[in-house]
Amino acid sequence: MKIIILKENLNAGLNIVGRVAGKNLTLPILNNILLSTEQNFLSLSSTDLELGIKYWCLGKIEKEGSLTVPAKILSSFVNLLPEKKIEIEDKNQTLYINCENNKTQIKGLDAKDYPIIPKIEDETFVELDIAPFCEGLSQVVDFAAINQARPELSGVYLNFQKDRVQITTTDSFRLAEKTLYFEEKINKECSLILPQKTARELVNIFSEKTGKLKLHFSPNQILFEYPMAEMQRPQIQIISRLIEGDYPDYQSIIPKKQEARVVLFKNELLNQIKTASIFSGKGNEVKVKIDPKKKEVEIFSQSPELGENRAILKGEISEESKELETVFNYRFLVDGLANIKSSKVIFELNGEDGPAVLRPEGDNNYLYVVMPIKAT
Amino acid sequence: MKIIILKENLNAGLNIVGRVAGKNLTLPILNNILLSTEQNFLSLSSTDLELGIKYWCLGKIEKEGSLTVPAKILSSFVNLLPEKKIEIEDKNQTLYINCENNKTQIKGLDAKDYPIIPKIEDETFVELDIAPFCEGLSQVVDFAAINQARPELSGVYLNFQKDRVQITTTDSFRLAEKTLYFEEKINKECSLILPQKTARELVNIFSEKTGKLKLHFSPNQILFEYPMAEMQRPQIQIISRLIEGDYPDYQSIIPKKQEARVVLFKNELLNQIKTASIFSGKGNEVKVKIDPKKKEVEIFSQSPELGENRAILKGEISEESKELETVFNYRFLVDGLANIKSSKVIFELNGEDGPAVLRPEGDNNYLYVVMPIKAT
């Protein structure tokens, strides 16, 4: 292998591919990145056996070949090089890198020993706009269940219907759902559960990018493909296993009506929940009280050791609202509000025991359901 | 106690005084801030028994009094309040705080139980310009010894002479010295050792401020006083114990001549040391080689597991320089270079065993001495 490549090209690829490599103790070669020549490209690959990433960099290929080298060493090293041409060559399982007055050798491992990242040969199933897809994922990804007792809840549920995809997570204390509509209807309906880690990496890798992401499926894997600028070929492929199992029928959890409904300024509510949290003690309990007669929303918290906090917020309370009090874990309210982008938020409550809902005002495509802390 | 005060005034004080409070398990009242009225001011105090801070806020005092409340609770709470007037009152050792629609109670502890922060009644000894003093402290403070075997080395040495103060730290592997010259000569010479924590807090509290800092001494304490804008009185007082003991006669460690001297671009050298560090292995060893005949400075590192890195830097080597190689702990070079602000750095070497010196080009007021790793 002998390649001449610009530092910025190689660096861009390493920043992406390096995200997956480098955390495996039992199979040390997984700490490495696989470099291979493919026609006019240097391809970089990494995998943790659940999630694989492949990236193609344009370069001048003088001699074909392949080698794996430690991801962390290569990435940190290339990152510090000047913005110049880099010459890469392999000899005796060592990578020789020359750049200006800098001569470096990095010891590698045989490319033959690197695990094969599976391929999905299926037709493209759907193309998604990157920006709303990443935003949608980021608005729900944190609420997948950490507990692995029900593996299907540990992932992000993608439910493709003819005209939309619904992206959902729940840890059974709260549930977030984002709906994205397609410009053109798709032919078949299907659903799948993406590992949370894959969803997080998609957001990390693509949220600054523009354009479309192609999705391909196999029964237990998914491929996300991002095209190279002005070329009919991929620049980035992300291939991930899917989580097996049936996602619960969560629609029945989303309340269809409410006992009280109020529209509040989002930042004012968020700030007041944070203020109340200082006095909420170990139970994280914050009480929300709606008083339609006084037209007041009260946020209250107290702890015998610390003291108490009471605030009245201005809000538009819907006419048919009942007077009620509900106690929440303040963290769950903060988490939901942090994912609402509009300046006003709709807060629908259902008494002491019923699930409450937070929605951005003027946007029906996101909702966050949160269970109260039951009165004891 | 009853006070009306602007949120921003109270918040500014709490941000400073809160730095010291809040870390004591054996004496819980030290987690509190003492609030007291003093004429037209609300004074805020905190201490960890080694370092005390006092801050005066302008406010409208309606009733005199004092109380202590948990620093963390009060600071986080006030920080989240809107930028409005705050009404503060104490009843039954509880602080009642009203601000707009927010009503809060914070449980406190009796002000009588709060330790007395000692006073220094001595005349002002010297006034220092804040900006260069904080910059000087920040350039040396990290190199005090962590090991408490020699307590005097764990602090920052301030040596006041007639026309200057020298600020010095050493952990016996490296030594940093900053010299500040006074506009007017002072009357008496003296020296003291400031705890590292006090030096760090001075940098944190004052580095964004302008003006002069007044210093007062007693045999084992020091007082730093910062004036209130347009008033003949202090706004901030920092009082700290001093470390007992004699600081070693470090001047003999600073080499008076050198075997080789080279001027390099600071960022280029820093970047190259970082690059070399990737391959330096567990010993952190990086070799610097000066070759006056070839007019080359080489930086080299290698590890049997990872590989090696070699770079040639452009530098102006002084004529009388000898050819030599010296091995350093790369961290010590990075630390020193990070505190050099000029674009070029002077690097003076003294062979395998002798101390090397880094200096900013065009600035004789800072130097960083570093011991090599001896050849084994």
Average pLDDT over residues B186-215: 94
The answer, yes or no, to whether residue B123 has pLDDT greater than 90, is no
Helices (H), chain A: 7-17, 71-80, 130-140, 196-206, 266-277, 330-338
Do residues A145 and A234 share a domain? yes
Is residue A181 situated within a structural domain? yes
Q: Which residue has the higher pLDDT, B261 or A117?
A: B261
Do residues A139 and A241 share a domain? yes
CATH value at residue A244: 3.10.150.10
Query: Which of the listed residues A251, A275, A296 is the one where a domain comes to its end?
Result: A251
Is residue B131 situated within a structural domain? yes
How many domains, chain A? 3
Is residue A202 situated within a structural domain? yes
Do residues A13 and A76 share a domain? yes
Q: Distances from the Cα of A260 to the Cαs of A324, A336, A375, in angstroms?
A: 8, 18, 18
Identify the DSSP state of A86. Answer: E
The answer, yes or no, to whether residue B121 has pLDDT greater than 80, is no
Residues shown for chain A? 376
**A-B Cβ pairs (cutoff 8 Å, strict):** 80
Average pLDDT over residues B126-133: 94
Q: Is B313 on the interface with A (CB under 8 A)?
A: yes
The answer, yes or no, to whether residue B375 has pLDDT greater than 70, is no
In chain B, the largest separation of any two C-alpha atoms, in whole Å, equals: 82
Q: Which of A264, A261, A363 is nearest to A322 (CA)?
A: A261
Mean pLDDT, chain B, rounded, equals: 95
Task: State pTM to two decimals.
Answer: 0.92
Do residues B294 and B246 share a domain? no
- What is the identity of the amino acid at B7? K
Give residues with Cβ within 8 angstroms of B220, minimum separation 6. Answer: B241, B242, B244
pLDDT at site A230: 85
Query: Which of the listed residues A251, A281, A301 is the one where a domain comes to its end?
Result: A251
Do residues A343 and A360 share a domain? yes
Is residue A375 situated within a structural domain? no
Find the CB nearest A94 among B70, B307, B309: B307
Find the CB nearest B274 among A80, A306, A313: A80
Sheet arrangement for strand A66-70: A66-70, A32-38, A41-47, A51-58, A234-241, A221-227, A212-218, A126-129
Nearest chain A residue (CA) to B69: A306
A-facing residues of B in 32-71 (CB < 8 A) are 70
Is residue A119 situated within a structural domain? no
| B307 chain-A contacts, CB cut-off 8 A | 73, 94-95, 104-107
Give residues with Cβ within 8 angstroms of B187, minimum separation 6. Answer: none
Is residue A289 situated within a structural domain? yes
Do residues A280 and A352 share a domain? yes
Query: Which of the listed residues B67, B83, B113 is the one where a domain comes to its end?
Result: B113
Is residue A118 situated within a structural domain? no
pLDDT at site A200: 98
The answer, yes or no, to whether residue B376 has pLDDT greater than 70, is no
| A310 chain-B contacts, CB cut-off 8 A | 102-104
Do residues B317 and B360 share a domain? yes
Q: Is B275 on the interface with A (CB under 8 A)?
A: yes
| B275 chain-A contacts, CB cut-off 8 A | 77, 80-81, 102
Share of chain B above pLDDT 70, in %: 99
Over residues B269-313, the pLDDT tens digits come to: 999 999 999 999 888 999 999 999 999 999 999 999 999 999 999
Do residues B315 and B340 share a domain? yes
The answer, yes or no, to whether residue B168 has pLDDT greater than 80, is yes
- The series of mean pLDDT values per 10 residues for chain A, 376 residues long, is 97 96 84 96 95 96 97 96 97 97 96 89 84 97 91 96 96 96 88 97 96 91 93 94 95 95 97 97 93 96 96 94 97 98 97 96 97 82
Do residues B105 and B142 share a domain? no
Q: How far is Cα B301 from Cα B286, in angstroms, rounded to an integer?
A: 5
Whole-complex ipTM: 0.89
Question: What single string gives the DSSP state of each residue in A138-154?
Answer: HHHGGGS-S-TTSGGGG
Q: Distances from the Cα of B94 to the Cαs of A328, B43, B76, in angstroms?
A: 26, 18, 17
Q: Which domain holds residue B321?
A: 254-370
8 Å CB contact between B287 and B299 = yes
Do residues A236 and A309 share a domain? no
Do residues A97 and A15 share a domain? yes
DSSP E strand boundaries for B14-125: 32-38, 41-47, 51-58, 60-63, 66-70, 85-91, 94-99, 102-107
Q: Distances from the Cα of A338 to the Cαs of A274, A362, B346, B372, in angstroms?
A: 12, 17, 50, 51
Is residue A167 situated within a structural domain? yes
pLDDT at site B266: 97
A-facing residues of B in 104-123 (CB < 8 A) are 104-107
Over residues B310-369, the pLDDT tens digits come to: 999 989 999 999 999 999 999 999 999 999 999 999 999 999 999 999 999 999 999 999
Find the CB nearest A102 among B80, B104, B311: B311
Q: How far is Cα B273 from Cα A357, in angstroms, rounded to an integer?
A: 55
Do residues A139 and A176 share a domain? yes
pLDDT at site B184: 87
Q: Which of A71, A86, A2 is nearest to A37 (CA)?
A: A2
